Structure formats: structure tokens, C-alpha cells
Structure 1
């Protein structure tokens, strides 16, 4: 029998040719065959999904439409990411331009493409090429495009075929968007007022729940129909529509570390700060870059009083302990600085006074006094020696302030040897200057005798400066205002305390991370023991007790932490807890991580930057989503209550309108009108604006949201629209967002007044509040799409709606 390898060697050219043809064919048409096979061929696949005047699509065609859309989006996403666009931003960009992959988005894109063809719009290869050039700024090569298509599982020909309808829909979208971009001054004024205009009101709540007893039971037929309508909808506290689907729930435990506590001066010693600074000096020089020569020269012009200059913590205690006499410092300065002109001498003299005291306890400090006074001026600046601490055995003698002042104000340290003879000529000058402080008339006579002793001291002192004369000469050839002797680092932007606070926070964060790492190992050990026990057989468990949960409260106390737990909560209510404001290390909010990414007993570290707390949190228990049946225990009662709540809304709103009419007739504040009626209790929340520019984790722009009103549960657009449409003293009525409470509302005042608000509006950058317009634009786009559907006679088939209820598609989860 011939060997198969021998047959292959004999016919390898022909066989390779056939294999190549099959490969090309499968690569070109394989995806279509797989789509047709994968979509199924049963009766369900052939059922119509929707009908329109442009035709119909069945379930299989709708599924194929989704596959085509996903392949195009994957190819475009590859292109954007190759250009350096982050994946999250590229996905947002593509969804904004081409829509999502839900049934509704796919149907809208298909309708827009058909509508664009009806209007005469054309998309060909040139159109697609032009779009790709615009998208890539004409920086992509053909090879790069081919690689992006290949990574998406298609080739260029297939991409151009799939892109045809997507680009048609995009062209029609772009033709509509210009109508959204131009805003009238009146619209901008409206958006501005929603953020910056504040209302003070009083309100009387009228709960809907007080009226459900007046609503009769409609019977099982009505309730079953009501349950079927909302049985697969999750409840949302802000929504007026009910939801009977049980949401996923999770129980969380966590440790909390307060940054303020861990970074306090009591928790981080001065020695730790100094050591950390020396190890990271270069990095801090980038955070606090040195001042330029011009900036350093300009610093003395901003000199405050001496107390303000001695503000840093490590100088404050020294500044309080020493009381330099203003009459004592000028004489040494004038003795040792005869060369500079009088104005320059005075410029150097004044800043020295507040800085002599903090620097007089060590020679190192004496050297830093000069750059702080001359370059830093009236604002305390940080130099390298600022962290030097005086040694206990280096306390100066009572005459040390005069010596240090003289040294600090000596511009040229090489000249002291010439000065001993000069003090004999200058004692007469200090005699006039001590006359200014009237409290100490006797001191000038003592100072006349001191110059005879001073000549001996400068002879010893110049020994130190003679080692460093070259440094100031090189640093400051023509800048007498810059520091000279003793410079080790140029002054920096910011104060000593700012830098020390930054270092303390970094040290504290390192300590917290080490504590959390140790606690994570403890939780991990418990998880492993619990997993082994839970998955063991009954025989293996015999005689063994379940592993004991660590004493988290004790661990928290030992490590200076706070321990907390939530119990089983759904994702929405988890967001209302303190853990809901935490941002994880993956830049995802804690609720998202808990419900979509975390396993049990697998800790995550996160932080609440607003409150400056660091968290270690983990999931301990969870329950899955569930769609209860009408006949399940307790379901009918729940359905009945929700049905009664909806029917009772009209009664509560009518009652609120009656109360509003009564209040208008009296013309009095609500607090006086209902003072004797215990059933109606007016509330007076603090002033509020219609909307607040909140924040979303890692978002580049502030996101607008309805402001929270103290005492009002989920105030919505209807409530806010009513409030800000009234004038001061007027009364109206409105319901909250979930329509569970009706309110009688009386506006007391608006702030600021109209003239001030208008003046601010004229000078405020529109970009600060432009995001509010996006919400209205979104509503306009949805209304436009609904109009396109109406004009196209679009309608989902009953079979498709039933299919969605029976088996929700994965993309709609």
C-alpha cells in the first residue's frame, strides 16, 4: 500500500492549489454561510420581527443585521485603537455615530438607511474611502487597514459591503444634527438658570399611599395582565413604572481608613518626612519646580508681616520663642554691607526680621535664612534645608540673634576681614535709630560698646564663608536680590507645609496599602478554608466544624480602621451607601465591581476622593435575579399594591390642588395656613437649583443631574419645572419623579436677583453648563427617531414582542 506521504509528495502542487482556493472561498464567503447556519432555520427564525413601508425583516435577518453591525464596529474600533484612542472612548464614539446593537438601535439604523436612499443619498466606495481618510486623518496605510479588518474577521471587500448601510444611516443622522447645534440666547439663558438660579420654597407633602385604601381590588384578571406587563422589569426608585423582577442583591463588608487620620503630623513623624523627601527629591522638584530668576526677584514685593512669614509648622514654634528687636538688626547690617546702595540695603533688611528667628538655632538654618528673605520675599518658600531640625545642644547665646542677622545679611562673605576697623566709625549711626522704639531708650548706649567686641567675632566667622565664596559668585553675578551664601537649592513654588503635607499623604498611603495587603491575605485564608469545607463531601465534613470567620471588628481596631457591612442590597441601593461613592483601582465604581466583576471574599481596594477615605471591600453573599410568577407566595399582594398606588395618584394630586387653592385664598405662607392641621406638615428645605453638575468616575466633563432637595423624595423634572415656573409668593402643585408623593409648593424667593444673574450669565463660559443641553438634544433625537418610525409605518410584530418576553436577548440584559 502506498504511503499517504508519497501520494502527497507526488501531487503536492495540485493539492496545494485546491487547498488555497478553498481557503480563499471560506475566507470570503464563510462568514455568510456561518451566519445563515447559526441563525437557525426553524419557524421562529422565519417569523417577522418588524414591518414597515420599506419592507420587513424576520428574526434570522435581524440576527444577521446584528452580526454585520458588530463586525463593522469591531473593525472601526481596531482602527481607532491603533490610532491611540482608548477603547472606552472609541466605543462611545462609535455608538454615538452608528448606534448600539440592541433590537431598537438596529431597526432604527435600518430605517434610517432606507430613508436616506429614499431621499436620494448615495454611498459608494469613494464615499467610504473618504470617511476612512477623515477618520484616520489620512495617516493609515493599506496594510494597516487590512490588519484591522483581519482582526475583525473580515476583509476589505466585506467591510465595504457591510459599511454601506451603516454610512447611509450616519449621513442621515449628520443631516439632522446641525439643527441641534445652534442654540438661541433664550435657550442658553434657560440652561444657565437651571444651574445657577436657586429657589427657596416651602412645601406640603401629600403621600399617595394614604389613598390606596380607597381603591378596590380589581380582580385576578386585571392583576394578571398588570403583572404580565411589568413582570420582567426591574424596579427603579425614580421611575413611575413598577417592576416585579427581583434584582440581583449582594452583601458587602469593608474596612475604611481615613486619610486625614493616617496623614496627620501625629501619625507621620518629622523623621519619616525627612527620610522620604531625601529619597524622592528629584520627583518633588518636578511637583514644586524652582522659581525662575524673574519670579524669585518679584517675591519680595509681596511681603506680609513677620507672623505670616513664619507660618510653616516647623518654623512657627521657633518664631514664637524668639522676639527679635527691630532696633538691634539694622546696625550689624549697615556695618557689614557698606558697598550696596542704601535702597538695596533696606530691601534686604526688611525681610530678614521675620526670618532671623526661625533660622537662628543652627548654622544650617542661618544659611537658609538668606534665600528665604531675599528670594522668597513676603511668601515663605521652601528650600532644601527647610527640613533641618535644630539640635538641642545648639541653642544660641543671647547675642546670637545679632550675629546671625549680620551673617544672614552679608552679601559678600569674602570681605569680613576688612570690616573690623569700620565699626569704630559707625557706632554713631545706631544711636539715632533706637530712638524709634520708645520703650527701650537704654539699649542704644549698650550698642555703642558692642562694636568694640564685634571685630573679633567676624574674624572667626569668615572661616565658614571662605569655603563657599565661589558658589554665590557663580549663581548671582548681577542679581543682588538673589540669595548668596548658604544656597543649596533654589526656592520652589509652594510652601514648606504644602510639600510636607504631600509627603505625609504618600507615606500614609503606603502604610494603608501594607495594612490592606495583610488583611487581604487574612481574608484569602478564610476564603480558601471556607471553599474547601463547602465543596467537601458529607463524609469529609464529618467531625469538622465550618471555618471561623475572622474577627473583623478586632482587626479594624488593631489597625486604626473602621469596619462596616451593608447586608443584602440591590445595585441601586448599594449606591446610596457610603461604599457607593467608592472608585475602584480599575476606575470603576464599587457598585459596578460588586455586581459585575467581583467574586465572593475577593477584596478590592478603592477610594472616596471627596471624603478622603480609602476602602478595602469584599462581597460575602449574593442572590441572583429572579422573575417571580403571579401564583408565587406574596406576589399577588405586591402586584395589587402597585396597581392601587398608580390608581391613587389621581386622588393625591387632586388633594394637593385643593390644598393649594386654600393657601392661595389666605395669601399666607404654608407654615401659617397648615399650622393647626397635624395631618399636613410643611417642610422648608434649604435653597436648591434645578440641576447640579455632578460627576461620573473618570469623566472629562461634569454630568448634569436633578438636584437633591432635602425632604423631597426623588424630585424630578415635573417638580423642578413647577418650582421654577412660579414667581415668589405663588403656589402650585406637582408630583415627585416616582409619583409616590404629591406636593403643594410655595416659592419664597429666588437668588441671586435677576440683574445679578443676568450679569453673570453674560460673562460665564457656555462650556461650563453646555452638558445640560445634551439632555435636551437626546430627547430631540429620540423624538426625531420616533417620527421616522411613524412616517415609515414601523411596528414590531406581536410574535417578536412575545419572543422578547420569553427569552430576552443577551444584548438587552
Structure 2
């Protein structure tokens, strides 16, 4: 038997090939993946440190794991509280708040906003609480849970609910450790606020409440002259010392500088920035495209269908109202013409009026005793007379001499037998006719048919005189509206031409929305496919399977946009989270969820940010599509970064000019302040005004009257901002303090917020008066609102407490702003 190596290889060819194949797979698949895992955080010493305090290093992995457990416990406690309330109990633990009207849990008694920064703070204050000797054993935690459930949920049920809520990821030990950590950290922090707050309400002295009240309610009108810092830069040293340059540079390295930032503090760190491409779907554009597809026959058919269903109807009384107005004007003119004769009646005319009024009353009495047909005639006559009475009274009121008709005494009224009593509905009209003044009755008799006044009282009345009176006195529409109020008003249809565009828009809007959704979905699918292919390629390049030349062809967004009927755009230069607002998608928001119509703002989603609930939005990776929508404009966007530049600190040589300019502006500000103080000193004796001492050519910097404005404006509950003064440039706290602590007629100097202008300012008027303000302040609601604003001294104490803890423990946050 041959022992040649080749013979051995030939006999064991299959096993060797299997072994070599497995070895190749391990080398080219398993090892690269393991290497990537080790380099990305899976190795022993690859987990970066997020924060340090008291010699403890908190790694990103620990912070992330603790934050996830915190979120799971918050979710579980919310479910447990809901179960407790459903069983008829109410959690009895401190800090729990429940709104019965809305049915919403407002506070759980521990921090309800998980976040990595919140986790770091909780861990370090938990450590401080343990050093201070605070302890909570398992029995105390169990007692806390019993009070939280109000005794309605057993211990075994609590653990079962925890396992179910966390997907079997958390047990009793995890729950107890989370509760212990948060309760002790909260206890330690609340200890620092003893004497400063009462629960959530700040403790403010009566004097502090009065000061807060004045800041909200007292308004000032001022005269101000601005001394511009920019005018003194030429007087500063163009070549500051190297030590000053280095000092300012080191200070500004820690602070990000955004475009348009007016902070007086140096900032040279560059923010995250990127170039952005986008496609946009404009709903109006899709509607117009769908409207163009409809034929004239389709639109007319839809018009006829909807017209038959009662659409496109307008009230037809517009012409009738115009005719009624014309008739009323004509009647008013006739009355005005006849007024001189009625204004100065003679004795003879008065006697004739009395004589003519008697037959009218007799006729009325006769009418009341007739059959139903005669009663109907009386109703029409009474209604018509009522209309004429109203018109008569309006005309008299227009002359400023209204005459009130005095009702006749019962003795003067004709007696009516019980069997011929007038129906109830005719009584008001009959009484009105009987109670008419003499002038009205004269007008009635003269304008009516003469035969009517000479008819015997026992003859039945006919409808003809009433009809004649209606024709001569009032348009037919007036009578109809009085008698047939329950009938629908007459309408007239709109023409096809008037509603053609409306019909086309309403027919197009649904298919337009569908087409827009399809286009956006297709665009998003193509962009996401390219992002995935690119990510796979980069991974293969990292492990040596592919080369850069094998990268997938870049998706042409402009070509895709033209194909799908979308708009295309891109930035011409790098933008950041602030400057992106000037770019088209910058006004859009993320897709809302639940009851929220919109999600986070575009800049926060693209570049990352910490949200108000403590959660963190990670920045978008390069070429990762981001969907957003501008609800007001009706435009949907899909965008991505094409060039992503992370935040960095430039070298000193790169920003030397900025550093030097900051130093020069700082020196120029001192010169401007000195010039402003000199002007204020000149005015101190009160012999001159601002206009008298302003240098030549600086009149445009004088504002004779600005305001009135208050120190603070209230935006919402416990939320205030410095009031804006449109006539002045970005005033801040220093300016407001100078204005409201200076007597009327005296002068003070204060900078604006960015310290680019120093104002010489004098209050011209403070309103309301101090006595009126004191009267308002006596109201309990006013004092309560002033208390909610808190106290600056108290805020300084709290800030100082946290700063002292940071300094004592050597606390250092190593997470970047994006993290």
C-alpha cells in the first residue's frame, strides 16, 4: 500500500474539501463579523465611558441597560396603577397623581421620562443618598408596592404582571433595584429643595410675589439712545496678546457656534452638518393633475347628479330682499312727505279723526261676531295692520318722537257675547288694531278702499279689502313670511360654470391623495433599498469581501422625482440643525402618532436631539431616508444626507480670525458702555434731554418712545419669557432691570442681550399706577399666579447645590450632545 502524500490526499479528498470549505467560511464570514462586533463595542475594553463621578466610570452599555430597565418599570407601574384603579383602589404612594376627569395618570411617584442623561443623574444621586446613610430594604420596597396597589393586588399577581409586561425580561430583583434607586435618588434631591418648594409649587415670600406680579403687570414707556459696539471696534487692538487668544480659544472649544448666534460667550465648536437631498410631493400638484383628467361630460354629469340631490342651492331671497328694501324706502319717503300735516293737527282734524275711528271700532266688533270665514279675513286684516304699525313706529322713531299707544280701559271696549268670542289666536291682532293711535287709523282709512269705511257693521266682511291693503302697503313676501314661517325658504341653483372648479376639486382630491401616497411609498422604497445595498457594501468592504469600486450605483433622486411626479431639491452647502430651518423641508415635522398630528421637528430628526420626555432622537445615518410632512403647506418630503460631517473643534489657526474678532468686540463693548455712562452722567442734573446730548449724525439711534411693555410675558402655565420691544434690538434681563428699577425722568445704562448695543434709557411713564396695581394684587388669584413664577434667589440656590455636588464628586459627562 502506497504511503505517498499524494495518495493519502487522493483517498481523503472529500473530507479535506469539506474541512477547507468550512475553514474558508469561518475565515471570510465568522471572523469578519466577530472582528466587527469586537470593534463596535463587543470587546472587553471597547465600551466607552459615558460619565464619571466619585471614581466610578459609567459605561455606555450600563447606562443603556439601566435606561431600558427604567422604561420597562415605568410601563409596568402604569399598567399596575390602571389595574389598581379598575379594582376600585387608588395608589397611596407619595407623588402619584391621577386626573379623574381625563382618566390620565399624571405622575407615578418616580421619574417617568427614561433617558440616558436622566439615568446618569439618577445613578449619581443614588450614590450620594447611600453615602448620606439613606437605605431602603426589600421589606420597605414591598410595603411601597402594597401602598401603590392600595392592597388590591397580591404580591404574586404583581410579579406575574411584571413578567408579562416586560416579556419575561425583568424579575422581582430588577423591579426592586429600580424602585430603590429612583426612590432614594429622588429623596436626596428633594432634600435639597426643603424650604424652596411645596411639592411642585415654589415657596415665594410676599415680597417675591409682589415683584413677580409687577414684572407681569406693570408696563413702561421709555426713551432710549443706543450706543453701538460695532462703532468702537476700530479703536481696539488688531493684534491681541497670544495669551488672550489662547484663553478665549480654550473657553470657546466647549461651546457650539450656530449661524446667527448672538450669545456674548465665545463658541468655536462646529455643529453636526450635512448636505441634504430631498423629493417632495405637493398635494395641490396631484389634485391639478387629476382634475385635468376629467372630461366636460363627466363634470356635467356629476353636477346634474348632485343638483338632483339638493346640492348647489343658494337662498333666492336676495332679489326679494332688494325689492323689499326698495319698497321700504319708498314707503319711508311717502311718510316723510305726509309728516308735516300730521305733526301739527288742528282741532277740526282731531274731531274728524275721532269720528272716523268710531266706525272702524264698530266694524271690528262686527267682524269678531262673524263665522270662521270672517274670522280668517280679520286675521289677515290684523296681520297687515300690525305690519303697518311696525313701519309707522319705525318712522316715528327715526324722527326721534315715538308715540306710545295707551290701551283703552275695559269700560270703553265693546262687550262680546260668550258664544261669539274671538279665537285666542286672533285676539292679539284685534287688540292691536283697536289700540292704534289716531294718526295710524287715519292713514288706514285714507289708504284703504273708501267703500270699506262706509260698510254697515252687520254685513259680512270680504277678503277683497284686505287683499287691496296688502297690495298697497307691503310686498307679498312680507305677508308670506308672517303666515308661513315653517316653510323652507325659496332657493335657486348655482350654474355649472359657478361650481365647475369646486366639482372637479372634490372629485379629484381622493384619487390625488391615493396617487400621492403611492408615489411617496415608491420613492421611499427605492431610497431605502439603496441605503440597505450601500450598508451591505460598506460592511463587505470592511471585512475585505468587496472593494470600493463595487459600490452600488447611486440612486438618481432627480430622475426618480421626474418619473413619479415629485419635486426635487438639495442644499448648495452644508446645513446644521439651526440653518436647516431656512431649507424647504426645515418647516416639516415627523409623522405623528396617536392623537398628535405631527411628530418631532425636522432638524431634531435629521441631526438628533433630546426630547422633552427625556428620550433621545439619534441622528439620521448618511443616505438613510427620512419622511416628514408640512401639514400647513400640504407637502410630504423624503430626504437624506449625502455628506455627513460630525461635530468637531477646528484648530486654532483655522478660527484665529474669529477668536481675534471676539476679543476686539469684547474690548469695544467696554468702550461703548463707557460712552453710554458718560451721556447718562451728563443728563443726571435734569437740565437736558437725550435729544440735546446726542452726538451729531446719531439721531437715528434715538428712540423717542418705545412701549408700553412689561418685564415678562406669560406664555402658559408657569412659563414666561422676556417681553419683546419691537423698537429696540433684542433686549434682555439687564435692560428690563434697568428700566423698571429707575424712576421716571432718571437715566440708566444697560446692554441688550447679545451685548451689541448699550442703551441710555429713561422711563417716561409707568402704568398702571401703583395704587391700582396694589388693588389688583389683593386678589388671591393674582398672588397665586405670581407665586408660581418662583424666585430667582431660590433658583440660584438650587443651581448652586447641583454645582457643589458636581464639584465634590468630580462629575464629568462624557456623552456628546448628539448622544
* TM-score between the two structures when normalised by the length of structure 2: 0.55
Q: What's the RMSD between the two structures over aligned residues?
A: 6.4
Matched with 1:694 is: 715
Matched with 2:141 is: 128
Q: Contact 1:208/1:648 (CA < 8 Å) preserved in 2?
A: yes
Matched with 1:195 is: 216
Q: Contact 2:67/2:115 (CA < 8 Å) preserved in 1?
A: no
Shift in Å at residue 165 of structure 1? 3.9
Question: Which of 565, 578, 598 matches 1:586?
Answer: 598
Matched with 2:462 is: 452
CA deviation map 1:99-144 (0-9, x unaligned): 9635872465145414542xxx442334323444555555555434
Question: Which of 761, 768, 781 matches 2:798?
Answer: 781
* TM-score between the two structures when normalised by the length of structure 1: 0.55
Q: Contact 2:223/2:763 (CA < 8 Å) preserved in 1?
A: yes
Shift in Å at residue 161 of structure 1? 3.4
Q: Contact 1:336/1:419 (CA < 8 Å) preserved in 2?
A: no
State how 1:167-316 maps to structure 2 within 5 Å. Answer: 167-179=183-195, 180-181=197-198, 182-213=203-234, 214-218=236-240, 222-235=244-257, 237=261, 239-249=263-273
State how 1:744-759 maps to structure 2 within 5 Å. Answer: 744-759=760-775
State how 1:512-661 maps to structure 2 within 5 Å. Answer: 547=559, 570-572=576-578, 585-589=597-601, 591-593=603-605, 595-596=607-608, 604-607=628-631, 619=639, 624-631=644-651, 634-661=654-681
Residues in 2 aligned to 1:246 and 1:322: alpha-carbon distance in whole angstroms: 74
Aligned with 1:653: secondary structure? helix
Question: Is 1:726 equivalent to 2:742 in the alignment?
Answer: yes
Q: Contact 1:245/1:628 (CA < 8 Å) preserved in 2?
A: yes
Structure 1's unaligned 5+ residue stretches are 1-36, 51-55, 259-270, 281-311, 355-417, 458-482, 489-504, 557-562, 696-700
Aligned with 1:101: secondary structure? helix
Q: Contact 2:110/2:186 (CA < 8 Å) preserved in 1?
A: no
Structure 2's unaligned 5+ residue stretches are 1-39, 83-97, 285-301, 333-363, 392-420, 454-459, 468-482, 489-501, 535-548, 591-596, 609-616
Matched with 1:430 is: 433
Shift in Å at residue 670 of structure 1? 2.7
Q: Contact 1:48/1:57 (CA < 8 Å) preserved in 2?
A: no
CA deviation map 1:771-811 (0-9, x unaligned): 53388765443223334556xx3334xxxx6xx6xxx4267
Question: Is 1:710 equivalent to 2:720 in the alignment?
Answer: no
Matched with 2:358 is: none
Matched with 1:148 is: 162
Residues in 1 aligned to 2:637 and 2:762: alpha-carbon distance in whole angstroms: 44
Question: Which of 799, 809, 812 matches 2:815?
Answer: 809
* Higher strand residue share: 2
Shift in Å at residue 681 of structure 1? 0.9
Q: Contact 1:198/1:752 (CA < 8 Å) preserved in 2?
A: yes
From the superposition, tell whether residues 423 and 91 of structure 1 become closer, same or farther in structure 2 (CA, over 3 Å).
closer
Aligned length: 585
Shift in Å at residue 49 of structure 1? 3.3
Matched with 2:809 is: 794
Q: Contact 1:733/1:743 (CA < 8 Å) preserved in 2?
A: yes
From the superposition, tell whether residues 520 and 162 of structure 1 become closer, same or farther in structure 2 (CA, over 3 Å).
closer
Matched with 2:407 is: none
| Structure of higher CA gyration radius | 2
From the superposition, tell whether residues 58 and 578 of structure 1 become closer, same or farther in structure 2 (CA, over 3 Å).
same
Aligned with 2:672: secondary structure? helix
Residues in 1 aligned to 2:425 and 2:107: alpha-carbon distance in whole angstroms: 80
Aligned with 1:687: secondary structure? strand
From the superposition, tell whether residues 523 and 443 of structure 1 become closer, same or farther in structure 2 (CA, over 3 Å).
farther
Q: Contact 1:692/1:704 (CA < 8 Å) preserved in 2?
A: yes
